[in-house]
Amino acid sequence: MRQRGGRNAGLYGEHLMARSTTTGSARGALHATNVQNEVADALSDEAKITIASAMNGLPEDVLAYVMAYTPIGDTARQKNAFTAGAYMVDSVEVVALDGEGMDVAASVQTKSFFGKVQESKQTVRVSFGVDRPLETSEAVKRRLMEMSREQGLTKSTATIYKIPVGSYGGLPVNMLLNNVPHSKMARNFIYRGAAEALVLAVEDPTVPRRMKLVCTVPELNPAMDTYRVGTVLELVRELAYSMADVGLNTRILIQPSMGKGVFKSLPLALSGVMSIMQGMDWEDGLVGSHVNFGQLGNKDDVSAEDDVILVISPQSIAGYSIHPLLVDTVEHANGRPVVIINPNLKDRPSSGGVMQVRGRGERIAFAESFKDIYNFRLLYGSSVAFFPIKGAVMKAGPSEPYVVFDRRNTGKSKGEEYVPLGTFDDDPDAENITPLWGSGTS
């Protein structure tokens, strides 16, 4: 069992260690598990063989690498420019792999001006083009996925993603997210995944301090009548626990009622959230020490003791923009992580010049400055209906790719599974996703 405050010293200074409690929690295993996974994921000889064997099942990709990243490709382009088919690669095979690249044996056919064909074998080095050797099998898989995408072979990235080394976990079978309330298994999968992603993001100094956590399954999607505020707050509670487990203090903020006079209001999805959250069951001694609450935009509610700031579902309302309150909070955080959970930062143009053309560029740029550390959303066959579920998009952590999944019925007791179709560096839109199915998807 891991004690709170047992994280690596130096993240925000040794003063954090002094004011962390010694209350233990099973959730502290999150951080220890991440460290163990990194050790287990080392690029061993067995992992190298596994990856090389899997890539030999993708000859189109390996050939594309050879043509794009080795002298064979340069020679082929030069000779074929004068005589089509003068220099052809007949087959390729990965014969060795390490953290800097892979050796590929290529069978080459050359045709002379008079039509005489000669065959030869060449072993060439396909470099990963990295500054230093990749140390984990997951890093090698990521680089291979990037190289395949660079060659327009996005569908192949699903196969690379599934190579049984590294961090591949996929999505659980039989989550049945069409059923509301969601199962305990589905909720725990989301809570644990989001908490792990937050720990990784906060502890990684290369991750921007403006973070975004998005999960819009039916119980967490305010646009659906299945929205359940209790699920949102359970998720937030797990996030706060995960921070306490690594010795960090969390401030949870909710936007106040906005507007003036009789037009003062609060989004329906946030109505009563503060009182519900304060009345929830929390571990003894946590609230007031590791976890505190406050209103977005109130500088007095963010103290020097707060290490991470969570903002629940910030959104504009007609006549009032949320951006000024968020900007103030980010500035007052002074480089500390600010995590917005299921935000809706789109403009809601109103009379009086509110959220009109003026300042729109700055508002969009500010919204885009928050980077996904976790993203799980469902895909539907239509942009106007939330049924049936066609698939999902999942980014499981700050350095994870976005993975597109196809939902398929298993035929056993109305079961289901999610099968990866492809991966992306950036959040894919319909234009990226649709070709993976060959039909419309929203």
| CA distance linking residue 30 with residue 7, whole number of Å | 11
Query: What pLDDT does residue 352 have?
Result: 56
pLDDT confidence of residue 269:
64
13 close to 304: Cβ distance less than 8 angstroms:
no
Q: What are phi and psi of 338, to 5 degrees?
A: -115, 120
DSSP letter (8 states) at residue 353: G
Residue 368 corresponds to which tokens in the numbers above? 């885009």
pTM of the full structure: 0.83
Quote the pLDDT of residue 267.
Answer: 66
pLDDT at 28: 47
pLDDT of residue 87: 78
Contact by Cβ (8 Å): 338, 309: yes
Q: Which long-range contacts (CB under 8 A, 24 or more apart) does 405-409 make?
A: 405/170, 405/171, 406/436, 406/437
Closest CA to 433 of 399, 400, 403, 408: 403
Answer yes or no: are the C-beta atoms of 110 and 90 closer than 8 Å: no
State the greatest distance between any 2 C-alpha atoms of the chain, in Å, as a whole number: 90
pLDDT number for residue 260: 59
For domain 45-161, the question of CATH label 3.20.180.10 is answered with: yes
Q: What are the extents of the domains in the chain? A: 45-161, 184-437
Q: Give the integer Cα–Cα distance in Å for 438 and 64.
A: 23
Q: Is the dihedral of CA 254, 259, 264, 265 positive or negative?
A: negative
What pLDDT, on a 0 to 100 scale, did the predictor assign at position 250?
Answer: 96
Q: Note the pLDDT of residue 36.
A: 43
CB-CB contact of 235 with 191 (8 Å): yes
- Cis peptide preceding 71, ω within 30 of 0: no
Nearest CA among 269, 424, 263 for reference residue 343: 269
Segments of the chain scoring below 50 in pLDDT? 1-29, 31-39, 262, 439-442
Given this model, what pLDDT does residue 320 score? 77
d(CA 347, CA 316): 7
